[in-house]
Chain A
Amino acid sequence: MAGVRLEGIYKKYPGSDKASVTDVNLDIQDKEFLVLVGPSGCGKSTTLRMIAGLEEISEGKLFIGDRLVNDVAPKDRDIAMVFQSYALYPHMNVYQNMAFGLKLRKFKKADIDKRVREAAKILDIEHLLDRKPKALSGGQRQRVALGRAIVREPQVFLMDEPLSNLDAKLRGQMRAEISKLTKRLETTTIYVTHDQIEAMTMGDRIVVMKDGFIQQTDSPEQLYNNPKNIFVAGFIGAPSMNFISGTLSEQSGAVRFKAPGVDVAVPEGKAATLRSKGYIGKEVIMGVRPEDIHEEPVFLEASPNSIVNANVEVAENLGHEMYLYLNGIGSDTVIARVDGRSAIRDGASVKLALDMNKVHLFDKETELNIFEN
């Protein structure tokens, strides 16, 4: 096994003056599960394809272990790839599909047999070895594609949205299986997805990308709780974080955030930072996660300085939780996530409290998190 290091990686396509991937620096540890996430066109797949050797690197250095591999062909990089299309070889049966890479590398027949059968056992596809891909379901095909990667026992697994062709139920199941599998095999894995649930549940670390730039590289918890900028804050979490544009002011020794329908006190710890950074009197953007808006009487009682009044446009009850689409907090609709047993209904006027210890404040110009930068 080995780590992977990207140093100042760029990708520029001929005829385009803008780079698709800009100055990517990553140090992926041995055995780490790293997820690249971002909206379509953010450069995550291009980055993975450069690691795979499918795309040439325009600038920068790529190391797998201690070996510089910029000019090494994909087959010689000691990696195994699984893609969204999981294109199996249609004229070969499952066994042959899994054995082909080993056969090319001149493994002995007995070794090939052993590896294929072991991988088939892990993936629970032993009974499918004689079947052709056409006779398999989507989930089974995906397992075979994984099997083809596993038998190689590579230094690194590269996976590009491997679950996106599966239905929701199967995706959930395979998500857990891939996590278990990579832990068991202790293989460094780089996984591309635009599904933040996959990113949050599978990654040891997550890299959030946008427009070819890395926005933040952190653990799932850090990304969720301490996003570095508005993009990361809005991208991670569903429903997304609410953003309210307002102004900071100093009043009776306390810092207050004011916006249409909002006048709340900023906790002293945060207020000190705002003062020292000169934000008093300036416009900022407040970010509040839906679960940090409370309707429980106990919370409201304990938070007299962060009460807001709102009208419930729609109350969506999902059973275990309820989403409230609210008017009156700032100028846009705000979503709150409350207990599914709440009695709030469509059209109701409600009193809610913001958990000001958990809100984020972003610089309006730079869009950076004031407390994280």
Chain B
Amino acid sequence: MSTYEWVKPLERIMNRPLAVLTVKPSEWKAAAEGAEACSEPYTDGGLKAGAWIEHEGKLWMIAEPGQKGLTVLEMDARDLEAKDKDLISWSLNHASIGLKAGDQGASESEKLAFKLGEWLQKQLEAEEPVYSLPDHLTVGSRLYHDMIPFLLVAEQSSVKQDVYPELEKLLRSFLSDDILLIPLKSREWLIWGPMSLLKDEDSDMHELAEEETLEDSLASIAIGLHEMLASEWLGECHLAVTHPVSPAKGMVEAAITMRETIHLGRKFHVGTNIHLPWMLQLERLLNAIPESNRSKYLEQSLKRADLFVEAEMLSTLDTFFSLDCNVSETAKKLYIHRNTLLYRLDKLKQETGLDVRQFRDAVLVKIILLLYKVTKRN
């Protein structure tokens, strides 16, 4: 279990808030020298998981020793019984031995990825997250180069915790050796792909710039990646992609954007698995409106006609809007005669007074549909 996952249950057991700090060995040494009590006398290089000191009314206990920094658990020392301290100390020490045994099979990149994941998860849960990676996590210069961020959320309950090596290998063979896979929550991963995925040696870059936007290229890579993951891995999954950024500077922001994107995509577009932040602008705006206001507006709108909620009308309007209100293309896509489509649109106009061939009314109907889809499931 990673740091952040066991802190919350421990907080409940101890019935007091806990904080996870990164403490330099020198700071520990200084605190140990002025400590009111400690598990063992301080010795250089002798720090191990479970060692604790009490100073200024706080208990510090080492969760994970390290050369550059110690991961320390901080809690209020008041009313803490000796046996409680002994028990946590013993648990941390044994967990650390277990981690070391488990670590032996893990590669350096995997260890770093897990550390990044823990740090990132902490920032995502924090009220005021730190947006730049701390120095000890930015190994070399690799994380300072722009990369393409993807957020992957697997659906299947059969996805196991120890899937990391398999997924990393698959992504390396599909995207490039130069990827970074960071585990977040269970069944959630942040993937960083190289910028080379956007380059096309076959065509003139100038020509490319005219033909395809960056968003188009990102979407097409996401579609390909989703297809590969669905068919060559474990089945259905949700995938978001956002604009390239350097992981060192933009990791937290990219993760926040993509989590929100997947949340909005799943909420407003059930059945869609690839979620693009630039396609969900209206949804983001609507989501910010308080639920009660949304329901009230929808209730008033739907009073005007039940027609909106008919499956045939819903699919007709969805297709019509997805094809930029093009009547011929919509009729073709729906396998219906153009006149049948016009009849349906006229019927809607007759019953609701809204003509979706007019921009103004089309916007209103689009909003009603989006709100209806969310409310229907609530």
Contact = CB atoms under 8 A, between A and B. Distances in A.
B224 A73 contact: no
Contacts of B174: 89, 100
A250 interface: no
A170 interface: no
Chain A interface main SS type: loop
B200 interface: yes
A53 interface: yes
Interface string B227-266: 1101111111000000000000000000000000000000
Contacts of A49: 236
Contacts of B170: 104
Contacts of A164: 333
Interface stretch (A130-138, A227-235, A342-350, A354-362): A130-138
A40 B316 CA distance: 11
A71 interface: yes
Contact of A73 (B155, B173, B217, B234): B234
Interface string B147-184: 00000000111100000000000100111000000000
A320 interface: no
B202 interface: yes
Contacts of B79: none
A73 B237 CA distance: 13
Contact of B157 (A41, A56, A88, A100): A56
A53 B197 contact: no
Given A15-B377, A74-B235, A54 B311 contact: no
A272 interface: no
Contacts of B333: 164
Interface in A46-79: 49, 52-56, 71, 73-75
Contacts of A222: none
Contacts of A88: 224
Interface in B111-126: none
Nearest to A101: B232
A91 interface: yes
A91 B315 CA distance: 33
Contacts of B315: 40-41
Contacts of A55: 235-236
Contacts of B197: 91
Contacts of A15: 377
A132 B200 contact: yes
A54 B230 CA distance: 7
A131 B200 CA distance: 11
Interface string A100-129: 110110000000000000000000000000
26 contacts: A52-B231, A52-B235, A55-B236, A56-B157, A71-B158, A73-B233, A73-B234, A74-B230, A74-B232, A75-B232, A87-B223, A89-B227, A90-B217, A90-B223, A90-B224, A91-B175, A100-B173, A100-B232, A101-B232, A103-B173, A132-B200, A132-B202, A134-B203, A134-B212, A134-B220, A195-B335
Given A75-B232, A83-B227, A88-B224, 9 more contacts: A40-B311, A71-B158, A73-B233, A73-B235, A87-B226, A89-B224, A104-B232, A135-B203, A194-B335
Interface of B: 155-158, 170, 173-175, 197, 200, 202-203, 212, 217, 220-221, 223-224, 226-228, 230-236, 311, 315, 333, 335, 377
Enumerate the 10 nearest inter-chain pairs by beta-carbon distance, A residue then B residue, closest first.
A87-B227, A89-B224, A90-B220, A87-B223, A54-B236, A54-B235, A75-B232, A91-B197, A53-B235, A73-B234
